[in-house]
Structure 1
Amino acid sequence: MTEEYDGWDIPAGDDDGGDDVQLPVVAVVGRPNVGKSTLVNRIIGRREAVVEDVPGVTRDRVTYEANWRGRRFTLVDTGGWDPGASGMAARIAEQAQVAAELADVILFVVDATVGATDVDEAVGAVLRRAGKPIVLAANKVDDQRAELEAASLWSLGLGEPLPVSALHGRASGDLLDAVLEALPEAPSEDTRREGGPRRVALVGKPNVGKSSLLNKLARSERVLVDPMAGTTRDPVDELIELGGKTWRFVDTAGIRRRARELQGADFYAGMRTQAALERSEVAVVLIDAAESITEQDLRIVSMVIESGRAMVVAFNKWDLLDEERRFYLEREIERALVRAPWALRVNISARTGRNVEKLVPAIETALESWSTRVPTAKLNAFFTELIAATPPPVRGGKQPKILFATQASTEPPKFVLFTSGFLEESYRRFIERRLREEFGFAGSPIVLTMKIREKKGSPAKARR
C-alpha cells in the first residue's frame, strides 16, 4: 500500500518486515562422482555448483535457495565421501549421521549405472537408523533400459529408487515432487507474528557460556553444559518465565569460523544458528569478558546487524575481572563495537547469576525500539529543524535537499529520505545519530534509504 506525495509513491504502514520463515533443509548426499552437483544445478535452475568428471570437486558444503511449485527450501550440496580415504567407514558414518540429524530431508544420490556399492550400502544403513525422510535418486538414467538397472537399488532398503537424469533433466520434476512430499509442513505465516512468546536467540562463539546462561535463566539444568566447546549443535528452544512474561530462548551452536570454512557438523550447526537468528526478534550476543574481543566476536555482531534484529551484548564472566582489566576492556569495547554503538550492554556472570536479571529490561527496551514508529508529521518536523541547523554537504557543486521523509516499516525501523541528490555516507551517519538522540531506538538497528529525484519528470533512484 502506498500514498502519493508530490508525485512520489510513499510506503504507507508496516510492511511484513521481510520473510523470516525458516526454510526447510534438503541435504544432497552420496559418494563422489554420482552427479550430486549436476543435480543441484538442475534443481536450482542455474549452473552454480562446480561440475567436473572427476571425483572430489565439491569439498565444502554449499547452500542454495531452491523453489519448486512455489515451495522454497534450502538445498545443501555436500562433498562426496572418498572411498580411498583412511578410516573410510568412520568418515562415512560420521558424515551420514550429521546429515541425518540436522537436515529435514535427505536426498541420497546413487549412480544407477553402477548399482549399489559397498559405500552406498554403508551410508544407507546409517540413514535407515536415523528415521529421517529419505528420497533415493537413481541418477544417470538416460533411457528406459537404465530404468531396469535402477530397480536394483531397492536392495538399499530406502524405499523406491526414483530414476532421474540430472544431466538431461529427465524425470527431475517427479523427483522434486517426492522431495516436496517429504518436506515438513510449511508455516502459514511468520512464526514471530503468531502472538506467542517473544523469541530471543543466544549467539556467540563456542564455550562462551550460552548454555550456562540458559540454565541460569531457567533455574534448572535444561541444556547440557560441558567444558569442551561444541556441545550444542542444533538450536535448543526453551520456554522460560522471566519478569512475569514467558519468553522463548534459543540456545544456538557456537559459531566457530567463517561460513565457507565450516565443515561437517559445524557447517550444519552454523546454518541452523543463522536460521534460528532470522526466526528470532532479538539476539543476545555473549562475549567472554575474561578474554580480548576477537575477530570471531565481531563477525557474530556483524551477522546480527545484517539480520536486522534487535541486539543486546552480554559480557559474560565479568566477575572474574579485576579493576585494571575492566578499565582496559571498556576502551576495547568502544573501539570494537564501533559498528553497533546502539547495542544495549549488560555485564553478567552466567555461572553465579550476577546481573542476569538485568537482561530482561534490556531485551524489552531493544524490542520496543525495534517496533517503534515515528509519525510522519513528527518525523518531518524533526528533519526541517535538522536541515536548517546542519544542511547536507555540497556534492558536485550542488547542495542536495531532503524533500520529504517517511518511516516505511518497523522491525527494524526503516526510513526513506526523498532527496534531490545523493547524500554522503558521513551525513547519513549524522542523520542516524540525531534520529537516535531524538527518538531513542536503543538496542535496534536503523535502516536509511534514499530515493533520489535528480530531474523533474525523471524516475527516482533508490539508494542505500
Structure 2
Amino acid sequence: MTEDPLADASDGSELDGSWFDESEWMAFDDAEYSDEPDGAGAPQPVLAVVGRPNVGKSTLVNRLLGRREAVVQDTPGVTRDRVAYDALWSGRRFTVVDTGGWEPDAKGMQASITAQAERAMSAADVVLLVVDVQVGATEAEEAVAKVLRRSKRPVLLAANKVDDQRTLAEAAALWSLGLGEPQPVSATHGRGSGDLLDKVLEAFPTTPREEFAATGGPRRVALLGKPNVGKSSLLNRLVGEQRAVVDEAAGTTVDPVDSLVELDGEVWRFVDTAGLRKRVKTAQGTEYYASLRTKAAIEAAEVAIVLVDASEPLSEQDLRVISMVIEAGRALVIAYNKWDLVDDERRQKLNKEIDRQLVRARWAERVNISAETGRAVAKLAPSLRAALDSWDQRVSTGKINSWISDVVAAHPPPVRGGKQPKIMFATQAHPRPPTLVLFTTGFLEAGYRRFLERKFRETFGFVGSPVRISVRVRERKDPKSSRR
C-alpha cells in the first residue's frame, strides 16, 4: 500500500510539502500581481480647457479623451478644481486640464474657481476656450478673450453645441473675439472633435513649458475622507499654494485633483478626492460620479491618507472610507485632522473610539495633524514611507514556513467536523498587498486566520499595510489512484 503523504504531519509541528507540486504556488508569483508605478516617459504638453460655467467644457473634455472621466451634469458649476487627465491622439500623448467656470469679477467660492482656471491657463502649452454658440459671445467671453490675447501661448476657440447647419452659421460670429477661426464642434454628438484634436496637436510646441524628471514616477497617494474634513486644505498646505478650491460648504471638491507634492525631500503624487456621503448604490447625480471617481482613485493609488475629524466622534462614514481602502488592498495612513481643537477629554474619548471601532485597522499608521495650522504635517512623509515599505515587503518562503511551524505547534487550528486541519505549506504569493497563501488539509476558521495574521505581523511587521490570508484546501489523494 502506498504511504499516505499527509500522515507525516502528525500534530502540525512539522510541515511536509512532499505531496505538494511547487509549480502550484509559484503560479501565484510576480507576473500576475505586478503593480509597478507608472514610468514617466517624455514630458507631455498640456491643454487647458477654459470657459464660463455650463458651456460644455467637461462634456468636451470627455469627448477629447474618448472616455467618460470628467463629472458632467446640467447644473452649472459642477467642475470646481482644475483636474488633469491623460489623453492620446494620433499616437501623441498629452495632458488635458478641465477647469471650473471662468467669470470676471467673481466673488466667494466662484472667485476661487476662477483663480484655478487662471492658474491652469498660465501653466498650459495651449489654451482651448469653449463658447456656447447657441448663446453667443457674452461679456464673460470677451473678458476672457482679452486676457488670452495678451498671453504668450497658442489659443484655440471651440464653438460648442454646433449640432446642425443652422448653428454652424452662428459659429462664424465668434470671429469677433479676435482669437482666430472658431472650430465648430458638438461635444454631445462628437461632431468636429477629430478636427479639433488635430488643431490641438498642431498648436503644441516641440518642447512643453514644464518638465519633470523621469525617475520611475512619484508614489501615488489618495487623499480621502468624508465631506468638509479638510482634505483640500491639507493639499493646499502641502503644495504651498491654493491648489484645490476650499470653502465652508461641504462637498466643494467633485473631481479627483492631482498634485505633485515635494514632502521631506521626495516628490509624491497626491490626489484630492470628493468627500463620500453615501454608498455608490444610493448616490445620485454628481455624487454618484464623484463616488465612482473616488473609488477609481483608491484603485490607482498605492497608499491612502484617510482624514478623520479628531474633534468629532468617529462616524459610520469614516469607517466606510477606511474599509474601502482595506478592501482595495492599499497601504493606509489615518490622519486625525483638526488636532488643535482637541482637548484632554476629547483625546480620552477618541482613544476609546479607536480601540472599539477601528479593530480592522489597528495596524494602520496614525498621525495627529492640523491642516489649518500646519501642525505635524511633516510627519506624514515618514508614515507614508513606513506604510509603503510594508506594502512592498516580501518574506521568503523558508522564513514563513519556519514561522508557521512554530505557531501551529503552540496553537494548532481548532477542530472542525471532528478533524483537525493541518497546514502543510505556506508562502507569500505576492506583495502589494502582502498575501499569505496557506495550503491545508481542511478549512481554517475566520478567527484562527485573524490569529495567524496577528502573529504574522508580530514577527514580520507590516505596519501600515493590509495583510491578506488565503487558504487553499488540498483534498486527500486516493491511494489507489497513485498506483495507476
Q: What residue number does 2:366 align with? A: 345
Q: Distance in 2 between matches of 1:321 and 1:78?
A: 40
Whole-angstrom distance in 2 between the partners of 1:424 and 1:349 = 42
Letter in 2 for 1:16: D
**Conserved? CA contact 2:394–2:431, under 8 Å:** yes
Alignment partner, residue 311 of structure 1 = 333
Query: 1-side partners of 2:56 and 2:273: how far apart?
Result: 33
CA contact (8 A) 2:224 2:321 kept: yes
State the Cα distance separating 1:410 from its structure 2 match.
3.5
What is the aligned counterpart of 1:445 among 438, 463, 466?
466
Letter in 2 for 1:327: Q
Q: For 1:158 and 1:12, how far apart are their aligned partners in 2? A: 53
Partner of 1:192: 218
String of CA shifts for 1:212-269, please: whole Å, max 9, x gaps.
9998xx9xx9678xx9859x9977766565xxxx3457898696554979989xx99x
* CA spacing shift, 1:141–1:30, aligned 2, 3 Å: same
Q: 1:100 to 1:296 in 2, by over 3 A?
A: farther
RMSD of aligned C-alpha atoms? 6.4
Closer, same or farther in 2 for the Cα pair 1:89/1:447, shift >3 Å?
A: same
Unaligned 5+ runs, structure 1: 194-198, 457-464
The answer for the alignment partner of 1:9 in structure 2 is 27
AA at the equivalent of 2:365: L
Q: Indicate whether 1:121 and 2:147 are aligned.
A: no
Equivalent residue, structure 2, for 1:332: 353
Partner of 1:332, secondary structure, is helix
Cα deviation for residue 442 of structure 1 reads 1.1
- Pair 1:164 & 2:185 matched: yes
Question: Is the CA contact 1:236–1:252 (under 8 Å) kept in the aligned structure 2?
Answer: yes
| C-alpha distance 74-407 of structure 1, shift in aligned 2 (>3 A) | farther
CA pair 406-115 structure 1, distance change in 2 beyond 3 A? same
Q: What one-letter code is carried by the residue in structure 1 that aligns with 2:174?
A: L
| Aligned-partner Cα distance in 1 for 2:451–2:150 | 55
**1:332 deviation in Å?**
1.1
- Who is 2:8 aligned against? none
Partner-residue secondary structure (3-state), 1:5: helix
Give the 5 Å matches for 1:101-120. Answer: 101=119, 108-112=129-133, 114=134, 116-118=136-138
> Aligned partner of 2:141: which letter?
E
Structure 1 contact 210–286 (Cα < 8 Å) conserved: no
Q: Percent identity?
A: 41
> Please, what TM-score do these two structures have when normalized by structure 2?
0.57
Question: Contact 2:101 / 2:114 at 8 angstroms: preserved in 1?
Answer: no
* SS in structure 1 at match of 2:28: strand
| Displacement of 1:177 | 4.2
The equivalent of 1:293 in structure 2 is: 314
8 Å CA contact 1:44, 1:66 repeated in 2: no
SS for the counterpart of 1:10 is coil
Matches within 5 A, 1:63-82: 68-69=88-89
Letter paired with 1:11: D
**What's 1:369 paired with?**
390
Q: Distance in 1 between matches of 2:441 and 2:128?
A: 53
Change (3 A) 1:95 1:251: closer
Change (3 A) 1:212 1:134: same
Taking a change above 3 Å as real, the CA distance of residues 213 and 166 of structure 1, as seen in their structure-2 partners, is closer
Aligned to 2:197: 176
Please identify, of 360-369 and 249-258, the stretch whose mean Cα deviation from structure 2 is larger: 249-258
Q: Secondary structure at the match of 1:191?
A: coil
Larger RCO (CA within 8 A; separation ≥ 6)? 2
Aligned residues, how many? Answer: 422
| Residue of 174, 178, 183 corresponding to 1:153 | 174
* SS of structure 1 residue aligned to 2:27: strand
Q: Which runs of 5+ in 2 are unaligned?
A: 1-20, 478-484
On the 8 A contact 1:96/1:123 being kept in 2, the answer is: no
Q: Secondary structure at the match of 1:311?
A: strand
CA drift of 1:150 comes to 3.8
Contact 2:38 2:217 in 1 (8 A): no
Read off the aligned partner of 2:137 and give its amino acid letter: T
Listed as ranges, the matches of 1:354-433 within 5 Å are: 362=383, 365-383=386-404, 389-391=411-413, 405-415=426-436, 429-433=450-454
